[in-house]
Amino acid sequence: METVRATDYHDIVQVEEPRVSPDGERVAFVRKVPADDDEYEATVHVVPVGGDQPRQFTVSEGVDSQPRWSPSGDRIAFVSTRGADDDRPQLWIVPTDGGEARQVTDVVGGVAEIAWSPDERRIAFTQQVTADDREEDRDTGLDGEDFEPEDPDPRVIDRKVYRADQRYFDGKRSHVYVVDLDGEAQRASGGRAGDSRGEVRRLTDGDHDHLNPEWADATTLLYGARRTGDPDDNIVIDVVEYDLDAGEETETVMQTTGWTPMLAAASDGRLAYAHTPEENATLRQTEIEVLDRETGEVTTPTEGLDRTLSTAMAPQWGPDEENLYFLTPDEGDYAVWRAPGDAEADPRRVVGDGEIEDATVGPDKVAFVRSEWDHPGDVFVSTLGGAESRRLTRVNSDYLDDRAVSQPEEIRFENGSGDEIQGWVLTPPDFDPDETYPLAVEIHGGPHAMWSTSGTMWHEFQLLAARGYVVFWSNPRGSTGYGEEFMAALGGGQWGPPAYEDVMAGVDEVASRDYVDEDDVYVTGGSYGGYMTTWIVGHTDRFSGAVSQRGVYELNSFYGSTDAFKLIEWDFDATPWDDHEFLWERSPTAYADEVDTPTLLIHSDDDYRVPVNNAEMLYLTYKKNGVETRLVRYPREGHELSRSGEPAHVVDRLERIVRWFDGYSDHHDAPKALERGDEGLSAGEEDEGGDEDDDEETGDRQADGETGGE
């Protein structure tokens, strides 16, 4: 049996967006796998709940996402980049009884957040467009025009937040649209080829963003509008009602604060939504509130649960519209809960035990994607109460049958302040307790996030173990999933000391084991994990090597370049002009002249969450102070490199982490990465020169699943 390799990333299938059919008999989901070194293939599949194999429902062209059953179940709407030279996703519909998919939109801004109307005559969606796009009606249809927007030259900026997610906004705003389908004519076409474009209508306008459309009934749409004060400098969201028959907004239903409203409308007019208190919002948990629009009464169904709402799943009403279903982090699991909308009883956990990444509620089932220590993710269903659950897919069975995968051990340990911290230890697949092994310590980002035994880190954890490292990770103070007090422990500018104390207490705990070489210890982390990695090496020489990824290294410059400057205002209660020295003293760069640990820096050129200037400054400071270091930059990548970057870059990043650690380890006969050229890199990067490594086999590119639907 083989061990896990970095190049296995090309073979690992990801599943996303499970959606239960209206009759509860099938689940649609997206199957995603690297197509080559640069791109992914993502297709819609459907799996019967009764136990048959999943069928591929859309052709292997472009990237498909957002499968949504029509209310009757006779069609699936989805978003796809197929046939688009510019990767602008458009809306498509495919019959569920066979036939070809039909493109429904051809709009300039692409399509997102799709939602069927209850009578199936319309689909609501949002798209990002400029005022010129709206003026020229390119947002309602290009009519075959080969339009390609030009980058502004020069780029004139007037907003506080003007870029995010690897792109500049350049005047674009998110607006709400509906496409009229003429449902009977669509059904009558039976999926035959022909012009099936629907009439697209814009419902919103103005220089502000609209989001999260949700149908209240067949002619009434609800959505969020960020238009109060300066939306770049607050998290206020108006929830607006639009009457399609009247062709206008009829009222502002209410106001909430938070990152997104995550609306869920019940048929009797009750409205569930997410709410995060605005004061120090990053240190506060997100709750579900329910507004009774007849009485004006607001209840909080999550009040009895000291957990924060996950944005990976919008709250959903159950089939009886009495209970709401939602997702939270919960002590190393991501769990689905249900709670009565009237808040008459505390929430009850429905399914957990692993990392649930998305879920939807059907007439008698909950469908969800769950990853666990022994697999990176599959589709499951459970009963509404969670009494029974069933695994519907095994998308990586062929791969896993040929790989040795280790089971992590959960540990609980105390920090110096007496708090209990949860962590995990993963040993190599050929583990011998009479041998000794180097230790690799992983630190999560956020800082207000939580790790489990799986999720997006499954491959990286198993790779490090396969390369002979004992791997340790934990959820230090500041993490979600352990209550608001635990999450807020980093407030007042305490990003460094509490988490340092917790991580080092865990290192002490694990390094005390006989099979761990306490003199051969390494550390890595990304984003806030990068902050902590460089904070740690600036305060101790205990580690033999470090790899810091996309980290926040200097808080003053981070504030002025990120799209998340409110994180500094709320977590640190500070701004650079009033508290420059305070922020400097809490920046890892301030301690760079104390660093002796060889440290590799990894960053993405188009990271607009933590811009690359943070890495540039720290790299130069390290070089000037004689630290063994290197800066590796990935073009065309953003903050999500490790999770969704170009496949070749994802693999290269993993190989560079292992190579850096190996070069300083007494347990690996390998030269330092600074002396190896391209050796150990499957891609053979030109930035170092040298020969391609031949000790890492390139994984076979494979796909599975039979074709159906199209």
User: What is the spatial distance between Cα 499 and Cα 489, in angstroms, rounded to a whole number?
Assistant: 9
From the candidates 175, 210, 639, 649, give the one annotated as an active-site residue: 639
* 527 tagged catalytic: yes
Q: Say if residues 281 and 272 touch (Cβ distance below 8 Å).
A: no
Q: Which residues contact 226 (CB under 8 A, 6 or more apart)?
A: 208, 209, 210, 211, 236, 237, 238
Taking each continuous run of H as one helix and of E as one strand, the counts in the chain are: 13, 41
> Of the listed 527, 557, 604, 682, which one is catalytic?
527
Question: Which whole-number Å values give the CA distances from 142 to 64, 148, 156, 175, 274, in the listed order?
Answer: 21, 11, 26, 17, 36
Contact 571, 495 (CB under 8 A): yes
Cis check: omega of the bond before 154, within 30 degrees of 0: yes
DSSP bridge pairs for 241: 222, 251
Q: What is the C-alpha separation between 201 and 266, in angstroms, rounded?
A: 25
- Is 571 within 8 Å of 491 (Cβ atoms)? yes
Residues 6+ apart with CB under 8 A from 273: 239, 254, 256, 261, 262, 263, 264, 288, 289, 290, 291, 315
Nearest to 203 by CA among 258, 134, 267: 134
Find residue 290's DSSP bridge partners: 272, 299
Instruction: With beta carbons less than 8 A apart as the criterion, state whether 410 and 332 touch.
Output: yes
Active site residue 10: no
- The two tokens of residue 231 are 């939306």
Contacts of 278 (CB under 8 A, 6+ apart): 234, 235, 236, 257
Distance CA 446, CA 587 (A): 16
Report the catalytic residues: 527, 639
